[in-house]
Every structure is written in structure tokens, then in C-alpha cells.
Structure 1
Amino acid sequence: MAIPKDPAILLSYVNTQLRDFYPSLEEFCASAGADRKEIEETLSKIGYEYSKEENQFI
């Protein structure tokens, strides 16, 4: 599946992937071929930041 472009859908998709399959954002990005900086910038525009402790965007 391609990484969603819509920020709200991206948030749901990434958090689900992190919860169910990946122990870190780094591992998700490496596996999915995703750009971590782009994901973080997109989600910061809607008020979400990555929490390493929670392994979720909150």
C-alpha cells in the first residue's frame, strides 16, 4: 500500500502500523521506504508529533 498523502489518513495509517507491526518509526520508514522527515512534517501541520516512548504520533 502506498503511504497516504492526506494528513488525517496518514496519521491513522502510521499509528496503526506502529502499534501492530513496528517497534519504532525508524523501522517503519525503512521497511515501507517512507521519508521520516516528510511524515513528521506532514503530521506536525495538524498538531501531531512523534513520541518515541509511546511509539505513536500524539
Structure 2
Amino acid sequence: MKLPTDPHLLYSLVNMKLRNEYEDLDDLLRSLDVDQEQVMRTLAAAGYVYDAALNQFRAARE
């Protein structure tokens, strides 16, 4: 699956898939054969961080 390059669309899609289809981020990325570093960099640049306890990306706190 080709993921969106827009970080806000990516954020929305990844969180929806984490909520509805996957146990955790590793499971999602492995299943979609997506590079974890690229996803993390893209979302971090837009101010999002992954919260493993909630299994979702959230806005980073300053």
C-alpha cells in the first residue's frame, strides 16, 4: 500500500488503521511493508509522536 505523503493525511490514515485493524505500530508497518523510519520522520516533522500505551499518534507536547 502506498501511504499518503501529506503528514496530516498520513496521521489520520495510520491512526484509523491502528484503531480498527492492527494491534500495534510494528504490526501495521510490517503488514503494509512500509519503512518505519520514514513514517516516524514524516509524522515527527509535522509534530506527531507515537504513544505505544494508546497505540496512536498524538500531537507532541512542548
Once the two structures are TM-superposed, the CA of residue 2 in structure 1 deviates from its matched residue by: 1.7
- State how many pairs are aligned: 58
Q: Which residue of the partner structure matches residue 5 of structure 2? A: 5
Which ranges of structure 2 fall in alignment gaps of 5 or more residues? none
Q: Give the match's secondary structure for 1:50.
A: strand
Q: Which residue of the partner structure matches residue 52 of structure 2? A: 52
Once the two structures are TM-superposed, the CA of residue 10 in structure 1 deviates from its matched residue by: 0.3
Q: CA RMSD in A?
A: 0.8
Based on CA coordinates, which of the two structures has the bigger radius of gyration?
2
% identical equivalent positions = 38
- Consecutive aligned runs of 4 or more in structure 1 exceeding 4 Å deviation: none
> When you count strand as a share of all residues, which structure comes out higher?
2
Q: Give the match's secondary structure for 2:48.
A: coil
Query: Is residue 20 of structure 2 the alignment partner of residue 20 of structure 1?
Result: yes
Which ranges of structure 1 fall in alignment gaps of 5 or more residues? none
| TM norm structure 2 | 0.89
Rounded Cα–Cα distance in structure 2 between residues aligned with 1:55 and 1:19: 8
Once the two structures are TM-superposed, the CA of residue 41 in structure 1 deviates from its matched residue by: 0.5
Once the two structures are TM-superposed, the CA of residue 7 in structure 1 deviates from its matched residue by: 0.5
Q: Which amino acid aligns with 1:51?
A: D
